[in-house]
Structures are given as structure tokens and as C-alpha cells.
Amino acid sequence: MSELFPRTTVAGVSLPRMLIGTNWMLGWSHRSSAADKLIENNHPDEHAILPMYEAFASRGVDAVMGTTTMAGPHFARSLRLYEDKHGKALTLIDTPAIDVSDNAEARKSAEATIKECAKNGATFCLIHHSSAEQLVNKNLQAIPRLPDYLSMIRDAGMIPGLSAHMPELVLYSDAQGYDVETYIQLYNCLGFLMQVEVETIARVIHNAKKPVMTIKSMAAGRCTPYVGLNFSYNTIRECDMVTVGCMTPMEVAEDVEIGLAAIERRFPDFEGRSSPNKTEAVKGAMDPDNKRGLLI
């Protein structure tokens, strides 16, 4: 088993092939308001988030995806807290929503938001899908005015990318040769939130000219890590990444092991789920050496 998580390179920057997702630390469950509140209660401040970063980083997963400009201030503080404690920063992939209205005031606001990402320590800045998709012109098969915002990102000292729910963002950006170094793309075995069928998105990812950071790998908890991570790592390229959200350090350990096992084509070393009354078959599966003398 590999000691640390395998890595890839994006625009000359080394990144782990698993990225730290933040929805399950910042309160965006994609499930219910009660689930959002559970997450918020579990991670009320930067000190509660820190053990999550440490659990990931101890296994070589040292890059985090999130939006410092839309999340509460404790997210940016948590990144600084980790750096202060460990003497090195996590690689931040920031995904800001910006005002893309076609006027001088909106442009000034967008530039200020992008500069705030840089101030918060972002290495990558990928314009949030909710903003970028407003610019898509399907008739032209282009994303007008996108180069203006990509230039703002470069000028702020960050690496530009695009966050896509709409697959046309990837297709048009590649076709037009925009200054985009990586993409975020929705991708999971259930097709959760995806705008077209899974097979089409798989083709988009495989044909992308730049590395792709996939998100919603477990469909926001609608499938198990074993199913979701095995699907993702076995259907993307070696240059691509999978973003994984967790709520506890123990969950981090499980998901990292499952992800490693998927890449290494082996069965993961993890405990089975508890049940009040397991069948003999399930008990035997969790005790393959039959040390308890089970009838299987």
C-alpha cells in the first residue's frame, strides 16, 4: 500500500489526486437544512476544522477546494491556523462567485473578489459555475468576456480555471483556447446534479485538454465511499482528481484508504458497517479467516 496519496501536476503545481472538499465542513450538505446544521454544529470554528486538515495531510492529501469569499470567515482562518501550526500551507483551490454583469461597477466588484482570493492564499482560482455559466453562448460555442476575468486571476498571481456543472464550459473553453489550466466538473455514478448522462460527462473528462478536478464523487452522501470512489478513480484519467468531503477525521482515514485501494486495484482495509443483527454471510465477510468459527 502506498504511504502517501498519488499525485498529479496541474500547471506545474504538484497536487494529490484526492482533494479536500469543504461542503461537509462548511455546512452545504445538498441534503437538508437539518443536515446543514449538523455540519455547522460539528465544525463551528477554525479549531474544529483543523483536525480534518491534519487527517488528510498526514496521508499526503494537502490541497483543499472551497470558496473563501462565500464561506464564513472561519474557513480562511482555518487555513491560516493550519499554516501557522505546521509551517506550510495547504494548496488552496478557491472557487469564487463573481458579478459578471457587463458594466464597470460589476467589473470592479469582480476584480475585488478575485483579489480577495489571492489575499486568502489561493494558488488556483476557478470561477464558480454559477457565475461562469452566465457567460456561456451556445450559439457561438464560446464564453464571451471570460478572458477578462481570467486575466484578472493571472494579474492577481493565481492560476486560472473554470468550475463547471454545465459541460459546455469545458468544451467551449478547450475549443476557444482560453487561458484555463484546469476544470472542476460534476461527476458521480448516480448522475447527481449532472446536466447530462454519466457516459457523456465521462467522455468530456477524457477529452479535456487540461486536468479535471471531479466533485460530488459520492453524490453528497447518496452512495457509499466504496461505490463512489471506486467508480470515480476507475473511470477518470491518471492526471485527474477526485474531491472528497468528510465530517470527521475517522471518515477521512476510511475514504483515503478506499481511494488508495481503488487506484491500486485492491480491496480496501476498512471495517464493515455495524448492524444490530448481521446475517451469517455478512459476519463471515467481515471475518474472512473465520476466526470465530462462523458457519459460512
Q: State the average pLDDT for the chain.
A: 91
From start to end of 11-158, where are the E strands? 13-16, 18-20, 63-66, 91-94, 122-127
Sign of dihedral through CA atoms 40, 220, 215, 272? positive
Among candidate residues 201, 199, 182, 193, the one with its CA nearest the CA of residue 221: 193
* Range from 42-46, 220-224, 284-288 carrying the lowest mean pLDDT: 284-288
Predicted confidence (pLDDT) per residue in 263-284, tens digit: 999 999 988 766 666 666 656 5
Beta carbons of 67 and 34 less than 8 angstroms apart: no
* Range from 1-5, 88-92, 127-131 carrying the lowest mean pLDDT: 1-5
DSSP β-ladder status, 13-16 and 7-10 = antiparallel
Predicted pLDDT at 274: 67
Calculate mean pLDDT across residues 276-294.
57
Residues β-bridged to residue 63? 91
Predicted pLDDT at 106: 97
Predicted pLDDT at 1: 40
Is the pLDDT score of 26 beyond 90? no
* Range from 7-21, 33-47, 124-138, 207-221 carrying the lowest mean pLDDT: 33-47
Task: State percent of the chain over pLDDT 90.
Answer: 78
Angstrom distance (rounded) from CA 264 to CA 33: 37
207 alpha carbon, distance to own chain's centre: 20
Higher pLDDT, 36 or 157: 157
Calculate mean pLDDT across residues 25-45.
83
Question: Maximum CA pair distance of the chain?
Answer: 75
Predicted confidence (pLDDT) per residue in 104-146, tens digit: 999 999 999 999 999 999 999 999 999 999 999 999 999 999 9
Higher pLDDT, 285 or 255: 255
pTM of the model: 0.90
Angstrom distance (rounded) from CA 160 to CA 178: 10
Quickly count: other Cβ atoms within 10 Å of residue 65's Cβ. 24
Predicted confidence (pLDDT) per residue in 203-226, tens digit: 999 999 999 999 999 988 899 999
Higher pLDDT, 140 or 286: 140
Predicted pLDDT at 149: 98
Is the pLDDT score of 49 beyond 60? yes
The top-level CATH class assigned to 7-265 is alpha beta
Beta carbons of 242 and 19 less than 8 angstroms apart: yes
Predicted pLDDT at 296: 38
Predicted pLDDT at 295: 40
